[in-house]
Structure 1
Amino acid sequence: MRTVGVDLAAESSRTALAVVEWEPGSARVVDVRLGATDADIVATVTPTDRVGIDAPFGWPDAFVEFVTAHHRGDPGPAELETRAGRQPLVRRRTDLFVHRETGLVPLSVSADLLAHVALRCAGLLGKLGAVGVDVGRANGAVVESYPAAALKRWGLPFRRYKGVANAATLAGAVGAFEAAAPGFDFAGHRDVCAGSDHAFDAVVAAVIARAAALGRTLLPDATEVGAAEREGWIHLPTVDPAGLVAG
């Protein structure tokens, strides 16, 4: 099995791509690329791969409905005066689910720092779909990933490993992941992952894609699946890295 992970940013210069090849009892990182463009990602992914992308796949239904109504000139509801009233516009169902499961609050695609990333992701999903990749937003070949939430579920360091000031924490997080996943080999890419949180997150996204491929992630229930196909769904793994290596 081959999985691909993408830590998507608004610009290619901060985007990382990782490829992991899996055999029974072992896994090997065969490529890590910093500065990945959409063309790089599309050229790397085949329709038989499972792909994890760290980026939101859609917007909250309520946000889309509100913006559409506002664009038509319809008056907005009065409760938007308060943060609580605006909450349905800024949180997807998957964001609320992740918070219940992990205690973490994903950044809002409509109100925080993800707007440009989400727009780029929408374009990337379109390009992948055009070459035959299943880009269903709930559980297609390409799945929405949230590395920090996966790391927390695995009992691994998940905070304060991003940025130059946290280099020692990042190196420790890579080491902790290795210890938790016997048989997982960063190969010649360990140094770049220990030196770039984007590279490490791309590898974790590829591991989440492995969990999705094995059917070992939490999926939306019957009441949520319709919305998840529009809004996107963050895949939380239900098995630890050692189990994913074992297969």
Structure 2
Amino acid sequence: MNHVTWGLDVSTNKKKTAAVAIDWSVPGEARVVDVRHPLEAIAIAPLIAEHRESTWAVDVPFGWPDLFVALMAKRHDQPLPDDDLPRPGDWSVWRTKQVAQRRTDRFLTEHPAIRTRPLPASFQMLGATAAMWVLVEAELLRLGVAVDRSGSDGTVCETYPAAALSAWEFGKSKLAWPALQSNFPFLTADQDLVSRFFKSDDVCDAVVCALVARARDLDLTIPPPGEDAAAARREGWIHVTCEPSERLANHEP
């Protein structure tokens, strides 16, 4: 197992994109050892490829809902066929849940211990970030790093900090560095890094992503259920864990 995990908070704005590395080599401690912020989109794939032996957890949708993709193809040059239209009384559910949400989004929304609804990749401004990841994913493959969108194989997985924090019972709001240290007492960083970078919400979100990457390393995150596994390799799957956070600082899963 590699002793370093990386978290990546992705935005179309380089000033809001951040990558953070955490070293777990000292028992009982998780030390932030590298921060990249701001981070150009074009630099993301080379950075991941350079540290391909580490597990990465990335805050960006890896794909779009199957139904959304199919519908866009069907109605590209003509109105949607009648067989694909919902009943008038079901329009709202069809639009806000069936078309907007991936299986992983519905899973996190309905999970009794998480109950966090991710922003839909097919709507709102998040779609622009998801589209940017399309380019990063292709560049990663060119550099020899294949991404399994379900996060079941390889060293790159998708996550969502709000859902991860909720699963750990730390609420859904963004956490500043003092709150991160309070909730994860094994987390440390040199004061120089703290003073230079940790006023940024995006850097703190990247820390949460790196913590999820550690959970993925230890096989503590929730994988897609069997019936969703094939779709998750197309749509993506958000990795979180409901296991106690102190397990991250242990070397044995």
Normalising to structure 2: TM-score of the pair? 0.86
> Which residue, out of 122, 130, 134, partners 1:122?
134
Does the 8 Å CA contact 2:55/2:217 hold for their aligned counterparts?
A: yes
Q: Per the alignment, do residues 106 and 201 of structure 1 end up closer, same or farther by CA in structure 2, a change over 3 Å counting?
A: same
Partner of 1:6: 8
Partner of 1:202: 206
Give the letter aligned to residue 106 of structure 1: P
Does the 8 Å CA contact 1:47/1:132 hold for their aligned counterparts?
A: no
Does the 8 Å CA contact 1:47/1:134 hold for their aligned counterparts?
A: no
> Which residue, out of 94, 114, 121, partners 1:109?
121
Give the letter aligned to residue 196 of structure 1: S
Do residues 35 (structure 1) and 47 (structure 2) align? no
Partner of 1:180: 183
Partner of 1:54: 59
Does the 8 Å CA contact 2:59/2:158 hold for their aligned counterparts?
A: yes
Do residues 134 (structure 1) and 126 (structure 2) align? no
Q: Per the alignment, do residues 80 and 56 of structure 1 end up closer, same or farther by CA in structure 2, a change over 3 Å counting?
A: farther
Deviation of 1:193 after TM superposition, in Å, equals: 5.3
Does the 8 Å CA contact 2:71/2:80 hold for their aligned counterparts?
A: no
Q: Provide the rounded CA distance (Å) in 2 between the counterparts of 1:218 and 1:80.
A: 34
RMSD: 1.9
Partner of 2:86: 79
> Which residue, out of 44, 47, 59, partners 1:44?
47
Q: Per the alignment, do residues 229 and 80 of structure 1 end up closer, same or farther by CA in structure 2, a change over 3 Å counting?
A: farther
Deviation of 1:192 after TM superposition, in Å, equals: 4.7
Deviation of 1:54 after TM superposition, in Å, equals: 0.4
Partner of 2:162: 148
SS in 2 for 1:237: coil
Deviation of 1:70 after TM superposition, in Å, equals: 1.1
Give the letter aligned to residue 7 of structure 2: G
Deviation of 1:157 after TM superposition, in Å, equals: 4.2
Give the letter aligned to residue 133 of structure 1: V
Structure 1 residue runs of 4 or more that deviate by more than 3 Å after TM superposition: 191-194
Which stretch shows the higher mean deviation, 15-24 or 197-206?
15-24
* Structure 2 gap segments, 5+ residues each: none
Do residues 15 (structure 1) and 22 (structure 2) align? no
Give the letter aligned to residue 19 of structure 1: A
Q: Share of identical aligned residues, percent?
A: 33
Q: What are the within-5 Å matches in structure 2 for residues 227-242 of structure 1?
A: 227-242=231-246
Does the 8 Å CA contact 2:116/2:166 hold for their aligned counterparts?
A: no
Which stretch shows the higher mean deviation, 37-46 or 83-92?
37-46
* More helix, by proportion: 1
Which stretch shows the higher mean deviation, 84-93 or 219-228?
84-93
Q: Deviations over 1:23-61 (max 9, x none)?
A: 132221111122211343233322211111101000000
Normalising to structure 1: TM-score of the pair? 0.88
Deviation of 1:80 after TM superposition, in Å, equals: 7.9
Does the 8 Å CA contact 1:156/1:177 hold for their aligned counterparts?
A: no
Deviation of 1:64 after TM superposition, in Å, equals: 0.5
Deviation of 1:220 after TM superposition, in Å, equals: 0.7
Q: Provide the rounded CA distance (Å) in 1 between the counterparts of 2:4 and 2:146.
A: 16
> Which residue, out of 68, 75, 89, partners 2:73?
68
Q: How many residues align?
A: 236
SS in 1 for 2:30: strand
Does the 8 Å CA contact 2:100/2:122 hold for their aligned counterparts?
A: yes
Does the 8 Å CA contact 1:217/1:237 hold for their aligned counterparts?
A: yes
